[in-house]
């Protein structure tokens, strides 16, 4: 860090329920910043941020119809970097955890640190944290695999059916253009994903379309259906697909043997 460089950046998460899920530390950073860049989308969250700081810049202005999100993310990054370079005390607030499936937040920190500025990220409550609570699925019991849905389709991944599977951004699955702002083109991607998953799970295996409540007085969306019916699901920009583990974990007898252990030694109820 170069002490002569005045500008600084803190990236915070506002959580899924803005206000209620925002940490005390994140709120203090928002209140004390000279300028706050924010990506929250609903009016309630915007009003809440406005009540904390009178200098809020809405980063969602950079999204556009038929515009690649790569360009949008670069513009967001540039806006934040420029404010820091002007010597401002900058806070950038992204919904959920600011480092989970958020490209500009990591990019901007990397760039500013490389140029000698102070830049850090604080954690927030992500959609995954909410689903652990709402669906009663503990990743520690079976393990958990978490993928961006389109990436899961486009690349060869090793699927472990005996752990929880979380597929993010299912509402834009199959979009190779990165231009979609609406979730109305997912049907082919969802059909192909279902065919892929049917190679691993029986057609009656339960899958869940999950949407955490963004306002505390509402309930989460938890739509359970058989895998075979997944292509009929109605998806939105905040839908996440969750698949519960299929079977029991199998012991790795060869490795146990190397540890001088038997299955009986390590078996838990
Ligand atoms: C760009 S990522 C942002 C994730 C966010 N940073 C977080 O920490 O949860 C958007 C994806 O997150 C998931 N997501 C966002 N809000 C959600 C919600 N309220 N309930 C369930 N999943 C959500 C969906 O998979 C959505 O497509």
Amino acid 152: pLDDT = 95
For the cut 50, the answer to whether the pLDDT of residue 67 exceeds it is yes
Which pLDDT score is estimated for 43? 85
In tens, the pLDDT along 112-137 reads: 999 999 999 999 999 999 999 999 99
Q: Under CATH, which architecture does the 127-243 domain have?
A: 2-Layer Sandwich (3.30)
Ligand 1 near 121 CB (within 6 A): no
Ligand 1: residue whose CA is nearest its atom 14: 238
Q: Is the pLDDT at 182 greater than 60, yes or no?
A: no
* Cα within 13 Å of Cα(112), Cβ side: 31
pLDDT of 161 reads 96
Mean pLDDT of 240-255: 93
The most confident of 30-34, 45-49, 63-67, 175-179, by mean pLDDT: 30-34
pTM of the model: 0.93
Please tell me the distance from the alpha carbon of residue 180 to that of residue 170, in angstroms, as a whole number. 12
Ligand 1 atom showing the smallest separation from residue 129 Cα:
9
Percent of the chain predicted with pLDDT > 90: 81
Taking the domains of the chain in order of start, what are their residue ranges? 8-121, 127-243
Which pLDDT band, with edges at 50, 70 and 90, does 180 fall under?
low
Same fold, 8-121 and 127-243: no
- Distance from Cα 263 to the centre of ligand 1, integer Å: 39
Residue 269: pLDDT band with limits 50, 70, 90: very low
Nearest to 64, CA basis, from 183, 180, 237: 180
How do residues 140-154 score in pLDDT, each as one tens digit?
999 999 999 999 999
Average pLDDT, the chain: 93
What's residue 169's pLDDT?
94
Whole-number Å distance between alpha carbons of 130 and 127 = 5
Task: Give 65's pLDDT tier (boundaries 50, 70, 90).
Answer: confident
Mean pLDDT to the nearest integer, 76-97:
96
CA angle 189, 190, 191 (to 5 degrees): 90
Q: Is 102 in the pocket of ligand 1 (CB under 6 A)?
A: yes
172 ligand 1 Cβ < 6 A? no
- The yes/no answer on whether domain 8-121 falls in CATH 3.40.1010.10 is yes
8 Å CB contact between 37 and 92: yes
């Amino acid at each position: 860090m170069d002490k002569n460089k005045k500008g600084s950046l803190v990236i915070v998460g506002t959580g899924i329920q803005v206000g209620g899920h925002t940490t005390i530390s994140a709120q203090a950073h928002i209140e004390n910043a000279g300028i706050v860049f924010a990506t929250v989308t609903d009016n309630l969250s915007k009003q809440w941020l406005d009540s904390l700081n009178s200098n809020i810049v809405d980063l969602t202005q950079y999204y556009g119809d038929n515009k690649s999100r790569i360009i949008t993310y670069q513009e967001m990054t540039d806006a934040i970097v420029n404010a820091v370079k002007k010597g401002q005390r900058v806070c950038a607030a992204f919904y959920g955890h600011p480092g989970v499936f958020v490209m500009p937040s990591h990019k901007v920190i990397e760039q500013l640190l490389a140029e000698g500025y102070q830049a850090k990220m604080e954690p927030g409550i992500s959609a995954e944290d909410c689903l652990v609570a709402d669906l009663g699925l503990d990743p520690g019991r079976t393990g958990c695999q978490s993928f961006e849905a389109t990436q899961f389709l486009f690349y060869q991944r090793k699927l472990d059916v005996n752990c929880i599977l979380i597929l993010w951004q299912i509402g834009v699955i199959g979009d190779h253009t990165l231009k979609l702002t609406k979730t109305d083109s997912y049907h082919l991607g969802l059909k192909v994903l279902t065919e892929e998953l049917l190679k691993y799970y029986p057609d009656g295996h339960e899958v869940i379309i999950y949407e955490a409540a963004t306002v505390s007085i509402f309930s989460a969306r938890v739509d359970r259906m058989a895998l075979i019916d997944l292509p009929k699901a109605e998806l939105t920009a905040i839908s996440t697909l969750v698949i519960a583990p299929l079977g029991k974990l199998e012991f790795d007898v060869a490795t146990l043997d190397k540890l001088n252990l038997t299955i009986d030694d390590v078996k838990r109820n």
